[in-house]
């Protein structure tokens, strides 16, 4: 089952549960869904649009409040507080900081997350081994990183691999640590550069380019949003 389909199944189940709850206003009041997105780039935009497109094919009456954090964690928190104040029926966090902010601020309504690589490291789930009662649901988008890198190593045989990651995002840190472990297991020198925002990505790439044979770009929203800069440095 595709990841987008899984998210939609979760959303339909949660929205369906809301519809099933008898209220005096159930026939007149549309259900309010708030979506908080870390930033605009094709992958995150596609998740947002896919959710809206599919829910609009259902019989549910829904209003959407679409918010963009513009890569600012403080904005993600402010958006979560706004959604709580507005009494949204269901909220969706696309990428780690928005999802974390929603989970921390909103505890009495369903919170759905998408585009999260490591929900455990992000504090969105307590463990992967058992189901617990919670208001939070979602999926991980972690790729088979070991398979990817070890296949690449066999084909290209680099001696040194670089990676730029966002030090303030659990996703970025988790993938950096895993990539480092895989490199060590395969006798490949690992060179990392941390950034805090997209404006720093080009400089980070420049700082390590002379020390590496290959550059790995993970599922890191900040780095991916500046991928043209990385490509320019690596060209």
Do 83 and 172 fall into the same domain? no
| Pairwise CA distance, residues 100 & 208, whole Å | 31
Do 136 and 173 fall into the same domain? no
Query: How many domains is the chain partitioned into structurally?
Result: 2
Read off the pLDDT band of 114 (50, 70, 90): very high
Which residue range forms the structural domain that includes residue 180? 145-234
Do 85 and 192 fall into the same domain? no
| Predicted local distance difference test score (pLDDT) of residue 142 | 83
Question: What SS3 state is found at 136?
Answer: strand
| Predicted local distance difference test score (pLDDT) of residue 17 | 57
The CATH number of residue 86's host domain is: 3.40.50.2300
Residue found by looking up tokens 């389909």 in the block: 5
| Predicted local distance difference test score (pLDDT) of residue 151 | 98
Do 44 and 31 fall into the same domain? yes
Strands in 62-68's sheet, in edge-to-edge order, are 62-68, 31-37, 90-94, 111-116, 136-140
Do 133 and 19 fall into the same domain? yes
Region 2-28: mean pLDDT is 52
Region 60-65: mean pLDDT is 96
Do 181 and 230 fall into the same domain? yes
| Predicted local distance difference test score (pLDDT) of residue 2 | 45
Read off the pLDDT band of 28 (50, 70, 90): low
Q: Which of 118, 140, 162 is the last residue of a domain?
A: 140
| Predicted local distance difference test score (pLDDT) of residue 29 | 86
Do 131 and 165 fall into the same domain? no
* DSSP annotation string for 15-73: HHHHHHS--TTTTTSPEEEEEEES---HHHHHHHHHHHHHHTTSS--EEEEEEE-TT-H
Do 72 and 183 fall into the same domain? no
Do 150 and 228 fall into the same domain? yes
Read off the pLDDT band of 108 (50, 70, 90): very high
| Predicted local distance difference test score (pLDDT) of residue 97 | 93
| Predicted local distance difference test score (pLDDT) of residue 53 | 96
Region 173-185: mean pLDDT is 96
Q: Which of 107, 140, 173 is the last residue of a domain?
A: 140
* 92 to 7, 14, 139, 170, 193: CA distances (angstroms): 10, 11, 12, 18, 30
Mean pLDDT (the chain, rounded): 89
* Mode of pairing for the β-strands spanning 136-140 and 62-68: unpaired
Do 50 and 78 fall into the same domain? yes
Do 162 and 121 fall into the same domain? no
| Predicted local distance difference test score (pLDDT) of residue 14 | 58
Q: Which of 140, 171, 193 is the last residue of a domain?
A: 140
Do 94 and 73 fall into the same domain? yes
| Pairwise CA distance, residues 209 & 172, whole Å | 19
In sign, the C-alpha dihedral spanning 40, 44, 49, 52 is: negative
| Predicted local distance difference test score (pLDDT) of residue 131 | 77
């Amino acid at each position: 089952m595709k990841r987008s389909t899984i998210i939609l199944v979760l959303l339909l189940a949660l929205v369906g549960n809301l519809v099933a709850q008898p209220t005096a206003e159930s026939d007149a009041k549309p259900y309010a869904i708030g979506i908080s997105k870390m930033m605009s780039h094709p992958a995150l935009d596609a998740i947002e649009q896919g959710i809206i497109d599919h829910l609009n094919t259902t019989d549910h009456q829904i209003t959407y409040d679409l918010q963009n954090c513009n890569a600012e964690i403080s904005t993600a928190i402010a958006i979560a507080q706004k959604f709580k104040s507005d009494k949204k029926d269901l909220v969706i966090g696309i990428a780690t900081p928005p999802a974390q902010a929603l989970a921390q601020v909103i505890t009495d309504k369903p919170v759905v997350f998408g585009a999260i690589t490591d929900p455990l490291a992000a504090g969105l789930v307590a463990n992967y081994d058992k189901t617990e009662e919670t208001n939070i649901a979602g999926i991980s988008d972690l790729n088979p990183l070991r398979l990817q890198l070890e296949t690449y190593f066999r084909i290209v045989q680099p001696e040194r691999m670089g990676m730029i990651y966002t030090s303030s995002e659990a996703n970025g840190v988790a993938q950096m640590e895993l990539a480092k472990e895989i490199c060590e297991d395969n006798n490949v020198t690992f060179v990392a550069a941390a950034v805090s925002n997209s404006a720093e990505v080009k400089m980070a790439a420049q700082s390590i380019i002379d020390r590496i044979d290959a550059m790995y770009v993970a599922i890191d929203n900040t780095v991916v949003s500046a991928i043209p800069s990385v490509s320019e440095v690596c060209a």
